[in-house]
Copies of this chain bind each other. A is one copy, B any other.
Amino acid sequence: MMQRIRSKPERTVIGLMTGTSADGIDVALVRVADTGPSASLELVAFDTLRFSDTVRSRLLSAQGAGSCTARELVVLSSYLGELHAHAAAHICKKAGLALAAVDLIGCHGLTLYHQPSPEKLPGFSVNGTLQIGNAAILAERTGVTVVSDYRSRDMAAGGQGSPLMAYLDYILYNHRSRGRIALNIGGIASLTALEADAPFDEVQAFDTGPGNCLLDLAVRRFTGGKQTHDKDGLWARNGKVNQALVRKLMEHPYLKRPPPKSADREMFGPAMLDRVLKEGEGMAPADVIATLTEFTIQTIFTSVMEFLLQKSRYEEVIVGGGGARNPVIMEGLRRVFPKIHIALADDYRIPAMAKDAVLMAFLASETLMGTPGSCPSATGSRRPVVLGSITPGVDFFASEGAAES
């Protein structure tokens, strides 16, 4: 069976992703042909299954360095295993395909903790990452072989375990004659820099800094939670940027650090918003939002100028994530990069919102093919590694056994 999957010209793979905001499970059904830089992907179906408020708040409270128990973690991981299996069945139904026709499932799970900086214990310094979503339950319910726990192996090889998106960006956007930057403006903004006709092992990728996280937090705070984000950039549009404050914010040490680097959620979290509101005491809410929006634009601008344009030419920035739907951010990018074409990721083959789940499917296929899924120039690992652990489906060994006898 494993050999059968490997020898197919095209594999049918389900990808499952739950972002750290624990909104729900993204599930993609993908056809993957070939492996390595010449791989190609076709998205067959995509959906998001939202968590109930009860489930979401229980998941959120287990995250981070706060108090949890081994028991709660086990219960939530098994529960997510069941929900993942449900999502896999759901996407097959939507695509009119039997689960038995699926070759593989790639499952990221929900990150409860991610800490690339090591802690010193007797004899060893250790770091680590934890994604929950019981792979045994997922494999047992679906019968399909599961690949999971992608980030641990990259970290075991000295990497930051992130970003993994560099590989998919390479597959989707790498261009023979155009230098491209794939920019994802989620809570944190991250980019993948693809020089024209770049070899895969020179791809750079890193977090530029805050994406929408500070903006979202500010809008929530100003509206008492009634609004969750600056829809269509209306707040920012009606506010005035406090340039002095932007300059001050730009002194954040993370922004000066050269890549590879990845940003903590907490780095640009509630504590930073508190400082911003204190610095800008007396500012109108719209002015604060306008200022934070400009901060996001400037962090992206500086990162691109300092770490990318110094060395190479880039003709295009392809923008995805929630920030791509904020016209003030998009106009800001066109203003700061007048000579670069600012495009929308949604205009490419894979819609931006599906990219995480598609990546998880692609990486599962790469693991089964024995192809490294990490990019050392992006994660900082010592070597490219085959990612994840393989939990066998019901007939993972079946035909090989038959071939032996």
Interface residues of A (CB under 8 A from B): 2-3, 6-7, 52, 54-55, 62-71, 73-75, 77-79, 81-83, 86, 112-113, 115, 119, 121-124, 126-130, 134-137, 139-141, 148-149, 152-153, 155-157, 367, 369-370, 385-386, 388-392, 396-398, 400-401, 404
Q: Is A389 touching B386 in the complex (CB atoms < 8 A)?
A: no
Q: What's the least CB distance linking A161 to chain B, in Å?
A: 10
Q: Is B122 touching A136 in the complex (CB atoms < 8 A)?
A: no
For the complex of A and B, 6 pairs with smallest distance between CB atoms: A370-B397, A136-B152, A140-B156, A74-B128, A78-B126, A70-B113
Q: What's the least CB distance linking A405 to chain B, in Å?
A: 12
Q: Which residues of B contact A141 (CB under 8 A)?
A: 156
A52-B122, A370-B392 are known; give 19 further A-B pairs, CB within 8 A. A63-B70, A65-B70, A67-B68, A70-B112, A71-B115, A74-B113, A75-B119, A79-B126, A81-B126, A83-B123, A83-B124, A128-B134, A135-B149, A136-B153, A136-B155, A136-B389, A369-B397, A370-B397, A390-B391
Question: How many copies altogether?
Answer: 2
Selected from B70, B130, B136, the residue in CB contact (under 8 A) with A156 is: B136
Known: A124-B82, A370-B397. A392 touches B390 (CB 8 A): yes
A–B Cβ pairs within 8 angstroms, 16 of them: A2-B2, A54-B122, A55-B121, A62-B70, A64-B70, A70-B130, A77-B128, A77-B130, A78-B126, A79-B121, A82-B126, A83-B123, A134-B156, A140-B156, A370-B397, A370-B401
Q: What's the least CB distance linking A131 to chain B, in Å?
A: 10
In Å, the complex CA distance between A287 and B202 comes to 74
Q: In this complex, what residue of B is CB-closest to A132?
A: B70
In Å, the complex CA distance between A363 and B78 comes to 23
In Å, the complex CA distance between A105 and B283 comes to 61
Q: Is A75 touching B128 in the complex (CB atoms < 8 A)?
A: yes
In Å, the complex CA distance between A119 and B390 comes to 27
Q: Which residues of B contact A149 (CB under 8 A)?
A: 135-136, 389
Q: Is A153 touching B126 in the complex (CB atoms < 8 A)?
A: no
In Å, the complex CA distance between A18 and B369 comes to 33
Known: A136-B149, A141-B156, A386-B392. A6 touches B400 (CB 8 A): yes
Q: Is A78 touching B370 in the complex (CB atoms < 8 A)?
A: no
In Å, the complex CA distance between A139 and B367 comes to 15
Q: Find the residue from A70, A113, A392 having the highest chain B CB count within 10 A.
A: A70
Q: Is B74 touching A130 in the complex (CB atoms < 8 A)?
A: yes
Q: Is A69 touching B71 in the complex (CB atoms < 8 A)?
A: no
Q: Is B155 touching A75 in the complex (CB atoms < 8 A)?
A: no
Known: A75-B126, A134-B156, A152-B136. A67 touches B69 (CB 8 A): yes
Q: Which residues of B contact A397 (CB under 8 A)?
A: 369-370, 386
Q: Is B69 touching A66 in the complex (CB atoms < 8 A)?
A: yes
Q: What's the least CB distance linking A168 to chain B, in Å?
A: 21
Q: Which residues of B contact A55 (CB under 8 A)?
A: 121-122
Q: Which residues of B contact A157 (CB under 8 A)?
A: 140
Q: Which residues of B contact A66 (CB under 8 A)?
A: 69
In Å, the complex CA distance between A83 and B123 comes to 9
Q: Which residues of B contact A396 (CB under 8 A)?
A: 370, 386
Q: What's the least CB distance linking A404 to chain B, in Å?
A: 7
Q: Is A75 touching B121 in the complex (CB atoms < 8 A)?
A: yes
Q: What's the least CB distance linking A279 to chain B, in Å?
A: 30
Q: Which residues of B contact A140 (CB under 8 A)?
A: 153, 156-157, 385
Q: Which residues of B contact A71 (CB under 8 A)?
A: 64-65, 113, 115
